[in-house]
Structure 1
Amino acid sequence: MFDIGVNLTSSQFAKDRDDVVARAFDAGVNGLLITGTNLRESQQAQKLARQYSSCWSTAGVHPHDSSQWQAATEEAIIELAAQPEVVAIGECGLDFNRNFSTPEEQERAFVAQLRIAADLNMPVFMHCRDAHERFMTLLEPWLDKLPGAVLHCFTGTREEMQACVARGIYIGITGWVCDERRGLELRELLPLIPAEKLLIETDAPYLLPRDLTPKPSSRRNEPAHLPHILQRIAHWRGEDAAWLAATTDANVKTLFGIAF
């Protein structure tokens, strides 16, 4: 099973990053996609992906950091995307929940990254929170120019899920779905996702599954917990976990064009 969303550049992993990666593979994880959320972290993610086997990375600027987007940023992302470890543009999108960057800055950076992905024929790794309508408006003209797109860490509504599925967008599901309160609606939406469009992720070190036992004393999530998330998703979808692991692995290979 492949974890499509690991924030391995996080300072929370600074002291034991090697052990975190080793534990993931010992637990049955067979690959990691290390997310880049700004230029510096995208560069670090690419170096980590080169350092560890069966790891790849994304290159992009998260909506929170969109105020940093400049012509030089765009040039650096394009240069970074030429590295073999980099298999998607992002994490990019819109987040109107906290607006660490203004909506205008977010939209400018999102569209610029969609253009880069289209020009380079690379998939996009996307983020959307409290911005679905505007997000879809900006994304729609690019979908037929992109080889693929994934909306990672989906936490939206039934209508938003249906809109994404109708447009062939891959859906990333995290341990959010394991939350007995916040994850209940998402749990009910799991059957709406076509198996061939489902991807699984931890978003570590964030979103530790609340039903995990025993819970780590640090409360830090890590990719070794992906098997737990997979098992819960398979249960709620009424599918065999081994079959779902193989299916989501095949989806990773199709979307990102990688072999593992």
Structure 2
Amino acid sequence: MIQKPSLIDIGANLTNRRFHADLDAVLDRAKTAGVTHIIVTGTSERASQDALTLARQHGAYLSCTAGVHPHEAKNWNAKVAKTIASLAVQKEVVAVGECGLDYNRMFSPEAEQLACFEAQLQLAVEIQKPVFLHERDAHDAFFALLKQYRPHLKGAVVHCFTGNTAQIREYLDLDCHIGITGWVCDERRGDDLRKAVRLLPKERLMIETDAPFLLPRNLAMRPDAGRNEPMYLATVLEAVAAILRVSPVSLTQQVQLNTQQFFGLTMK
């Protein structure tokens, strides 16, 4: 295990109801495990408001994003757009999103997802904050729209990347950062991702748990409820370090630098 890591979780859904009963304990465990900062993901109007509230309650330890996930795109309207825009300019909000396209289960129609995604790309360009991106089973449409806006965006991170080598090459050609989760630890379905990670320059890498989802399958002791937490972030870092054949300590330092620079974080 990494000794005294200094890790930043760029995506944790701490407003999820599965954390309502014991969030303080979850944060304490994360700190003990060497997680020095967490970015709380905004996925809807309400979740983005709640994420900002959490970030303000916990001071320097938490930041957040503000955005509407493609599953929630059917709820996008002028009121929601105004709320997200007002949240996104707050100092605790370090990126616009989670936004993008998800054609896996189609919780929102394609046209509404595209409109919602484009509106948030436009917002990110306007306020010059990075975008926190989501894509699943929609690469071609997602990439085409992102490519139009990328020259004007301050930064772009493809959150929870689970794609293949061809896709990661395309994102890297657009000067995107890549967020890696516990999917990389999944022996059943992580092969394509592990091959793609070998092509990932260390200066483009960030790590995340996507808690409470995507619990790493290689944990020595898995929690009974199967809930992922930021405390398990080091497991993701170690898996990536093994793939890249580098020291976990040196990779930790590089990833922390990447993350601080990308999101404009000042660590205390």
Normalized against structure 1, the TM-score is what? 0.98
Identify the residue that residue 35 of structure 2 maps to in structure 1: 29
2:200 to 190, 193, 201: 193
Measured in 2, the distance between the counterparts of 1:111 and 1:198 equals: 25
Distance 2:230 2:101 in 1: 25
| Structure 2: distance between partners of 1:188 and 1:18 | 37
Q: Give the SS at the match of 2:198.
A: helix
Match of 2:90 in 1: 83
2:22 aligned partner: 16
8 A Cα contact 2:100 2:133, kept in partner = yes
Q: Distance in 2 between matches of 1:253 and 1:225?
A: 20
- Mapped pair 1:216 → 2:232: no
Shift of 1:130: 0.6
CA deviation digits over 1:15-67, x for unaligned, max 9?
00000011101100111010000000000001111111321000000000001
Of 214, 223, 244, the match for 1:207: 214
Give per-residue Cα distances to partners, 1:124-180, cap 9 Å, x unaligned.
000001111100111111111111000000011211111001111100000001011
**Alignment TM-score, normalising by the size of structure 2:** 0.96
1:236 to 234, 243, 251: 243
Task: Name the Cα RMSD after superposition.
Answer: 0.8
Whole-Å Cα distance in 2 between the matches of residues 189 and 76 of structure 1?
Answer: 37
Work out the CA distance in 2 between the residues paired with 1:67 and 1:13.
26
2:76 paired with 1:56: no
Are positions 1:135 and 2:138 aligned together? no
Distance in 2 (alpha carbons) for counterparts of 1:70 and 1:247: 40
Q: In the aligned structure 1, how far is the partner of 2:246 from the partner of 2:234?
A: 14
CA deviation string 1:192-213 (max 9, x = no partner): 1111110000000000000101
Match of 1:173 in 2: 180
Q: Does 1:99 align with 2:106?
A: yes
Query: Distance in 1 between the 2:233 and 2:35 partners?
Result: 7
Q: Which moved more, 1:184-193 or 1:7-16?
A: 184-193
* Aligned counterparts of 1:105 and 1:210: Cα–Cα separation in 2: 34
Q: Which residue of 1 aligns with 2:50?
A: 44
- Per the alignment, in what secondary structure is the counterpart of residue 192 of structure 1? coil
- Map 1:238-257; keep pairs closer than 5 Å: 238-257=245-264
Question: How many Å apart are 1:73 and its aligned residue?
Answer: 1.0
Q: CA deviation at 1:115?
A: 0.2
User: CA–CA distance in 2 between the matches of 1:147 and 1:249?
Assistant: 19
User: Using the alignment, how far apart are the partners of 2:139 and 2:89 within structure 1?
Assistant: 30
CA distance in 1, matches of 2:198, 2:73: 34
Letter in 1 for 2:54: L
Gapped regions of structure 2 (runs ≥ 5):
1-6
Alpha-carbon shift at residue 253 of structure 1 (Å): 1.3
**What is the CA-CA distance between 1:189 and the residue it aligns to?**
1.6
Distance apart, 1:236 and its partner CA? 1.3
Is the contact between residue 163 and residue 196 of structure 2 (CA under 8 Å) also seen in structure 1? no
Contact 2:12 2:40 survives alignment (8 Å):
yes
Q: Secondary structure at the match of 1:89?
A: strand
Q: CA deviation at 1:82?
A: 2.0
Runs of 4+ aligned residues of structure 1 deviating over 4 Å after TM superposition are none
Q: CA deviation at 1:108?
A: 0.1
Query: Which residue identity is paired with 2:165?
Result: R
